[in-house]
Amino acid sequence: MIAVIGLAAVFVATAGAALTAWRGWQASARGATSSVLALRNAVTLMLLGALVAMVALQLAILSHDFSIAYVARNTATTTPFVFLLASGWAALEGSIVLWGLVLAGFAYVAVRRVEMGDGLGALALGIVGLVGVFWFGLMATVANPFAVCVDAAAVGCEAQAWSPFAGAVAAAEGLGPNPLLQNHILMAVHPPMLYLGYVGLTMPFAFALAALLRGERGKAWLDRTYRWSLISWSFLTFGILLGAWWSYEVLGWGGYWAWDPVENAAVLPWLVATAFIHSAVVQRRRGMLQAWNFALVISTFALTILGTFLTRSGVVASVHSFTQSPVGPALLGFLGVVVIGSFAIFATRIHLVASAPRLESLASREGVFLANNLLLTVFALTVLLGTMYPLLVEGFSGRQVSVGRPFFDRVTLPIAFALLLAMGVGPITPYRKARATIVWNRIRTPLRVALVAGAVFVVWGVRSVPTVVVVILGVFVIGVIVREFTRQLGRMSGDRSRMERAGTLLRRDAGFWGGQIAHIGFALAAIAIATTTALAVRTEVRLQPGEAEVVSGYCLEYLEPFVRDEPNRRVEGARVLLLDASCTDAFRLIEPRINRYPGATQPVVTPEVRTGLFEDVYVSLAGGNADQLVLDVFVFPGMWLLWFGGLIVTAGGLWSFGARTLVRRNGDEGAAITGDERPRPVTVHGDRDG
């Protein structure tokens, strides 16, 4: 029954998406009076279908309906409630349902702002509809989340059929989620965050493509999608942060970032989206980089599809494994259509919409923005090359290769230096043409403070040159921002309290200050990455029960091994007491462990981390037996600063998002912005006239 309802809902959503595409095109071409209402109805239909599909899938999961193959393969009766909910989007088919739902939800929000006679908005929604046709079409065909199980295994499902009317059989028990996914609560939150970011980036893409197709000059498409870009970017940032944190807390190899293709897939669109939200400022303020912005926004969207392809097709394990499921080739085909189609439109129509005002001087805010964009683009190209190279080599020569971490680390380091430098100088460099004396005046004091901070680190015993450089640059970035903030605060008149004035300042120019908040977070994270990389200490300890050993200023006492049976897993671990260096005062009991999940080929090694203000103690099982325990003990100084910095970056993005308009100052627009702005709406709200 659920299979029928679910698949029917998917078909409704597909029809809604197709109707959205059709009505959007129609409304754009004709501007007929009734067409906007029809467009809204089409989007509503798409959203309703997607909602019912998700609810049906969740009902099937929560009621343990193992006659649905997806439920039998990805959940079990013993799965805890939170992970049951998360299973709705944790595996391939479910993740596409979530994708479609988020897309339809975003389209629903966007269509509220499309008024009659608004051709750009209508066509953009039409393009969103086309994207929706692909995702819902995928669900309706090769990735049907409601495929029924026709041959039950003892546990799980052996074979499935697409038709909901096939004779369904249900196993008594399901396989349960992927062990890595049910090992930590973060895994329930991390994918939706990434998806909110990925899918949100469809909006600027759709508006950009619509502007190109309509040959609409001006920055209307940018103004109308700037907040979409910001909110998507914030979600993406937060998603990547959660992923790194999860990797640190769960995977037990003693790190948070491995330049794994799956991680690169998330960071690639982030890099280009970051370049875009910066270069968008230049176009909105100065009218420059118009063609460049189109290229960036198309690339960002293409990279989100590439990311999905890399993570969802199995191509990472082996080039040849992605054809095992038709979803891989379908995603690759869609990627090809997006890249070739959008860039063909870009190449043939860009002359209609973009003109390039001259850069007056490289020594200007625009110049630094340009440098920032160049750096981020090179960064993204590098990561893309390093990620795709093994796939290309294997595809052509059949040999498997991997690109080592040293490649990514070495390339990233100089780019990160340059980015931090641009981040420090950029925000206080005037537009148009900057005089050296002005810039020097604004950076003089922060530079001194930063050099002192660097010296403190050297005296403290840090000998790694890159670490000291990052600390100097990071403190410099923060110093410049703090100085500029206090300077502007000092110029504000009035007898209100300092806090009130600070609040007003942050709100008055929220776009700018949100960016600066993000910069502070980024600088903090960079300092944390540099110090934890250089100062982390790894020790291997062998202990017998009752034995204690002092490691890196801590005393570890092995109490006893334990085995604990939990509903969904068996936990084997060691109770270890963490004490101070003299082995007298206990901090706490830690339990590094191995989690074994039924139905999974490999168990999961889970470390235990004690987070402190100055350093983290990270203990992971490295092997051994009942008589002798082998522990990997890492000490990471100032680790929390990385997570804190990441949160500040996200907060900065959200603060900018909260800003209603970025550009309110008059008289500072680039002279080249001509052509019509967004057409005047005929009615204030289309939904009031029905």
**Stretch touching another protein by CB under 8 A, among 23-31, 62-70, 296-304, 382-390:** 382-390
The answer to the question of residue 632 lying near another protein (CB under 8 A) is yes
Helix 92-111 / helix 119-140 crossing angle, nearest 10 deg: 160
Q: How far is Cα 622 from Cα 629, in angstroms, rounded to an integer?
A: 8
Least Cβ distance, residue 625 to another protein (angstroms): 11
Amino acid at 19: L
The answer to the question of residue 251 lying near another protein (CB under 8 A) is yes
Confirm if 54 and 192 have CB atoms less than 8 A apart: no
The answer to the question of residue 360 lying near another protein (CB under 8 A) is no
Q: How far is Cα 238 from Cα 536, in angstroms, rounded to an integer?
A: 25
Amino acid at 577: L
**Stretch touching another protein by CB under 8 A, among 154-162, 346-354, 492-500, 601-609:** 601-609
The answer to the question of residue 180 lying near another protein (CB under 8 A) is yes
Amino acid at 202: T
**Looking at beta carbons only, is 170 or 388 nearer to another protein?**
388
User: Which long-range CB contacts under 8 A does 392-395 form with residues at least 24 apart?
Assistant: 394/318, 394/319, 394/320, 395/319
Least Cβ distance, residue 410 to another protein (angstroms): 6
The answer to the question of residue 620 lying near another protein (CB under 8 A) is yes
Burial of 361 (0-12, 13-18, 19+ CB in 10 A): exposed
Of 81, 347, 396, 399, the residue at the interface with another protein (CB under 8 A) is: 399
The answer to the question of residue 392 lying near another protein (CB under 8 A) is no
Coil vs helix vs strand at 308: helix
Least Cβ distance, residue 600 to another protein (angstroms): 6
Q: How far is Cα 91 from Cα 86, in angstroms, rounded to an integer?
A: 9
User: Which long-range CB contacts under 8 A does 600-606 form with residues at least 24 apart?
Assistant: 600/176, 600/178, 600/179, 602/179, 603/179, 604/179, 604/180, 604/183, 604/250, 604/252, 605/251, 605/252, 606/183, 606/184, 606/250, 606/252
Q: How far is Cα 152 from Cα 183, in angstroms, rounded to an integer?
A: 26
The answer to the question of residue 11 lying near another protein (CB under 8 A) is no
**Stretch touching another protein by CB under 8 A, among 22-30, 153-161, 168-176, 397-405:** 397-405
The answer to the question of residue 665 lying near another protein (CB under 8 A) is no
Least Cβ distance, residue 603 to another protein (angstroms): 6
DSSP type of residue 256? S
Of 151, 360, 500, 540, the residue at the interface with another protein (CB under 8 A) is: 540
Q: How far is Cα 584 from Cα 619, in angstroms, rounded to an integer?
A: 20
The answer to the question of residue 487 lying near another protein (CB under 8 A) is no
**Stretch touching another protein by CB under 8 A, among 193-201, 270-278, 383-391, 437-445:** 383-391
The answer to the question of residue 318 lying near another protein (CB under 8 A) is yes
Residue in this structure with the two tokens 């537009």, named with its chain if needed? 431
The answer to the question of residue 339 lying near another protein (CB under 8 A) is no
Of 621, 633, 639, 649, the residue at the interface with another protein (CB under 8 A) is: 621
Site for another protein in 149-178 (CB under 8 A): 178
Of 307, 314, 446, 454, the residue at the interface with another protein (CB under 8 A) is: 314
Confirm if 327 and 142 have CB atoms less than 8 A apart: yes
Least Cβ distance, residue 246 to another protein (angstroms): 11
Q: What is the secondary structure of 30-62 as a DSSP string? A: H--TTHHHHHHHHHHHHHHHHHHHHHHHHHHHH
Pattern 267-306, binding to another protein, x per CB under 8 A? ----------------------------------------
Phi/psi of residue 225, each to 5°?
-115, 5
**Looking at beta carbons only, is 349 or 596 nearer to another protein?**
596
The answer to the question of residue 625 lying near another protein (CB under 8 A) is no
The answer to the question of residue 67 lying near another protein (CB under 8 A) is no
Q: How many CB atoms neighbour CB 322 within 10 A? A: 22
The 3-state secondary structure of 355-369 reads CCCCCCCCCCHHHHH
**Looking at beta carbons only, is 350 or 505 nearer to another protein?**
350
Which residue ranges make up the site for another protein (CB under 8 A)? 178-180, 251-253, 260, 262, 314, 317-318, 320-321, 324, 356, 358-359, 370, 374, 378, 381-382, 385-386, 389-390, 393, 399-404, 406-407, 410-411, 540, 594, 600-605, 620-623, 630, 632
